[in-house]
Amino acid sequence: MNASGLKLTCLQTLQASGQLREEGRQMYLDLDPGNVKGLFESVVLNQLASVTDDESARAAVEKLFALQALKRVHDAGEVQGAALMAATWCNSERMLNEPEKAKSLAKWAKTLGEIPKDFQELVEELSPELQFRDGSCCDRAAKKGGVCGHPCCKKAAQEDEVCSKCN
């Protein structure tokens, strides 16, 4: 029973002190399964901040994908930073070596706002289509799962570039 909010207060205190462990994280998630109050998001960010090895990074990335599936974010900047950090781990052959997850996280991060300069190179490497100007011919084709048929765009794509005329 959490009628008085005691359980939530205890969990928040544990989290603030850096002492929130997996059991506490799960209790937090149970209190806010849809991230309506931002508790789920808070736990995911906390878990990402406590990564110490590949195993904990893998678990944190899975929680981040669970947050993405909820389609409800309270602090887009914080979540974007976490998604980009997780994309870095996924893209690293020495860490998680999961490039498809890295690409997915980078795409999600792009939807959360302007990509910070420190991560632009990573995002460009993972997914050149993220460089498309919104509404351009290349952007429309990519959103439909295709490739733009304009000769200038085809030529740029063959050179692993983005058409500067259209984008």
Regarding whether 121 and 136 lie in a shared domain, the answer is: no
Regarding whether 124 and 51 lie in a shared domain, the answer is: yes
Radius of gyration of the chain (CA): 19
Regarding whether 153 and 110 lie in a shared domain, the answer is: no
Q: How many structural domains does the chain have?
A: 2
Regarding whether 124 and 136 lie in a shared domain, the answer is: no
Residue 1 lies in a domain: no
* Global confidence as pTM: 0.70
One pLDDT digit (tens) per residue for the chain, 167 residues: 566 578 888 888 887 787 878 788 788 778 888 889 888 898 899 889 989 999 999 999 999 999 999 989 999 999 999 999 999 999 999 999 999 899 899 888 888 888 888 888 888 778 766 678 888 998 888 777 678 899 999 888 777 678 889 98
For Cα atoms 17, 73, 44, give the angle at the middle one, nearest 5 degrees: 35
Regarding whether 148 and 111 lie in a shared domain, the answer is: no
Regarding whether 25 and 105 lie in a shared domain, the answer is: yes
Regarding whether 105 and 81 lie in a shared domain, the answer is: yes
Residue 38 lies in a domain: yes
Regarding whether 118 and 151 lie in a shared domain, the answer is: no
Regarding whether 111 and 35 lie in a shared domain, the answer is: yes
What is the residue range of 148's domain? 132-167
Q: Which residues, in sequence order, are CB contacts of 68 under 8 Å at separation 6+?
A: 83, 108
Regarding whether 142 and 100 lie in a shared domain, the answer is: no
Regarding whether 46 and 35 lie in a shared domain, the answer is: yes
Copy the structure tokens of residue 48.
């990402």
Copy the structure tokens of residue 150.
């304009």
